[in-house]
Each structure stands twice: as structure tokens, then as C-alpha cells.
């Protein structure tokens, strides 16, 4: 007979033989008090890192905002410098009362000369005397003269509020050409140097800024003055090149005369090619 196998009898009170697992003794616990302190330390470090990364992100955003603000400030400063540069090029300190008096007397003189069909040379002499007696610059002389000449053109509205959406008709353009053909010598007399022509271009722009409703007339006026040799193409293009990008009012005037400017540039390119 084979040997009798051993029989193990379970004891009811033996915890190893129960269906439920008893908690492990502290010695077998993988996380001791020391480990808990270490884990807590790691957690603190992790929180600090997260807080640090968050603050770093905020710092980066602040730096980017500061850089953007700095770039905007630089652009504004450049625009201001550009505008100041143009003002210094054309602007002359003058007595505003003298300028206003000149404007008023120039208007009366030209209207009288036009209505009575007086000799152009005689009126040109009177205009020169007014310029000297009121001590006005070429810029102010041209501003007053342009305002007076355009007031002589038939079909031009006297006030902007009476002319919303106004555009010059062929009759207006024809009248403008006749006025300039007769009276352009009073401008040409003070437009011999290119710098003076540029000052007159500035005066022309200022007139249309003050009378924006008449700005569609700008290209016709400029073309006629060029054809009459009052303005050279060099002076016109140089003035246009010097207009600050941030000067919205003058940019609108540039837009009105853009077709004529493009034509001048093409003519200049053709002349250069012929010279080669």
C-alpha cells in the first residue's frame, strides 16, 4: 500500500487561511514615513516647477507685448520724424496776420485783373509787391494764388458743403485751362528753382486738403501747370516721394494725382532708355 499522504487541517482562526487579506504589516508597506516625506518633497518641487513654468510663460507674454509696443513706438517715432522732416523742408515761420492779409488782397487783385482783363504783367507786378510787403514765403504766396485762381474757374462750387460728390465736367476743365493759360506767369515768376516748385506743390496739396470736395480737380490742375512749365517732372516726383506715409490727408491728394504721377514716371523711364 502506498504511503499515507499528509493532511493539512485549516484552522479557522489562522489569518493566512481566510478569504480576506489582512493589511500588510508596516514593515512590508512600500511607502514608509520617510518615503512619504520624499514624495511630498517631489510634489512640492513639481508644484514649484509648474508655478515657475507658469510665471515664465507670463514673463514671455509680457516680453512679447513689450517688444510689440516698442516696435509700434518706433514706427510712430519714424512717422513723426518723417513728418517733421517734411515740415522743416517747406515750413517757414511767418506772421499769420500777414499771411491772412496777403490771401485776402491776392484774391481781390486777381479777381479785379480777371474781370477787367488787365495786363498780366501789371497784375504780376502787383502780386510781387504784395508778397514783399506782407513778407510771405513762396509756400504762402502759392497757397493764396491757387485759391484765387481756382475761384476764377467757372463751375467750381464756392463751398464744399454745397458740393457733395462733386466732379469736374469738361466745361470746368476747359475753364481751368483758360484761367491757368492766362495767369500762370504770376506763379512761374517765383517757381524758377526746384525747391520753390516743390514748395508750390506743397501749397497745392494744402489747398486740396482745405477744400477736399475739389480734390478731383487736382490732377487736371497739376497736368496743366506741368504743361505750362511751371512745375518740372523732377519737382513733382520729388515732392510726391517726400510725402510721409503716415500723413493721411496728403496721401489722399496723392491718390487723386496718381494717374498723372504714373504717366510722368513712364515718361522719365522712356527718356532714360532713349539716352542709353
Look at the pTM and tell me if it is higher than 0.85. Answer: no
Contact 86, 244 (CB under 8 A): yes
CA 136 – CA 94 distance, rounded (Å): 7
What is the dihedral angle through the alpha carbons of 252, 85, 228, 268, rounded to the nearest 10 degrees?
-80
Contact 241, 250 (CB under 8 A): no
On the question of pLDDT at 85 being above 70, the answer is no
On the question of pLDDT at 45 being above 70, the answer is no
DSSP label at residue 5: P
Better pLDDT: 157 or 74: 157
CA distances 147 to 171, 225, 269, Å, are 19, 15, 34
Straight-line distance from the first to the last Cα atom of the chain, in angstroms, rounded to the nearest whole number: 130
Per the structure block, which three cell numbers stand in for 240?
510726391
| Mean per-residue pLDDT, 45-55 | 59
User: According to the model, what pLDDT value does residue 57 have?
Assistant: 66
Provide the phi-psi class of 20: left if phi over 0, else alpha when psi is between -120 and 50, else beta.
beta
Amino acid at each position: 500500500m502506498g504511503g499515507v499522504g499528509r493532511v493539512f487541517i485549516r484552522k479557522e482562526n489562522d489569518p493566512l487561511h481566510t478569504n480576506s487579506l489582512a493589511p500588510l504589516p508596516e514593515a512590508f508597506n512600500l511607502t514608509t514615513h520617510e518615503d512619504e516625506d520624499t514624495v511630498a518633497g517631489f510634489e512640492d518641487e513639481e508644484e514649484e516647477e509648474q508655478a515657475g513654468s507658469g510665471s515664465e510663460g507670463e514673463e514671455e507674454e509680457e516680453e512679447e507685448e513689450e517688444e510689440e509696443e516698442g516696435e509700434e513706438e518706433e514706427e510712430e517715432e519714424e512717422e513723426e520724424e518723417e513728418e517733421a522732416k517734411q515740415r522743416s523742408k517747406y515750413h517757414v515761420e511767418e506772421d499769420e496776420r500777414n499771411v491772412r492779409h496777403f490771401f485776402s488782397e491776392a484774391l481781390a487783385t486777381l479777381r479785379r485783373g480777371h474781370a477787367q482783363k488787365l495786363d498780366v504783367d501789371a497784375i504780376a507786378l502787383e502780386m510781387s509787391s504784395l508778397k514783399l510787403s506782407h513778407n510771405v514765403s513762396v509756400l504762402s504766396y502759392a497757397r493764396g494764388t491757387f485759391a484765387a485762381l481756382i475761384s476764377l474757374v467757372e463751375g467750381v462750387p464756392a463751398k464744399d458743403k454745397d458740393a457733395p460728390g462733386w466732379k469736374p465736367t469738361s466745361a470746368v476743365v476747359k475753364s481751368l485751362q483758360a484761367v491757368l493759360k492766362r495767369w500762370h506767369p504770376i506763379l512761374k515768376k517765383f517757381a524758377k528753382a526746384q525747391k520753390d516748385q516743390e514748395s508750390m506743390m506743397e501749397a497745392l496739396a494744402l489747398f486740396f486738403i482745405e477744400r477736399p470736395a475739389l480734390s478731383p480737380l487736382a490732377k487736371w490742375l497739376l497736368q496743366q501747370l506741368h504743361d505750362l512749365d511751371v512745375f518740372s517732372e523732377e519737382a513733382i516726383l520729388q515732392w510726391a516721394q517726400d510725402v510721409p506715409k503716415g500723413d493721411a490727408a496728403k496721401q489722399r491728394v496723392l491718390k487723386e494725382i496718381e494717374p498723372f504721377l504714373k504717366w510722368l514716371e513712364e515718361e522719365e523711364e522712356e527718356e532714360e532708355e532713349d539716352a542709353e
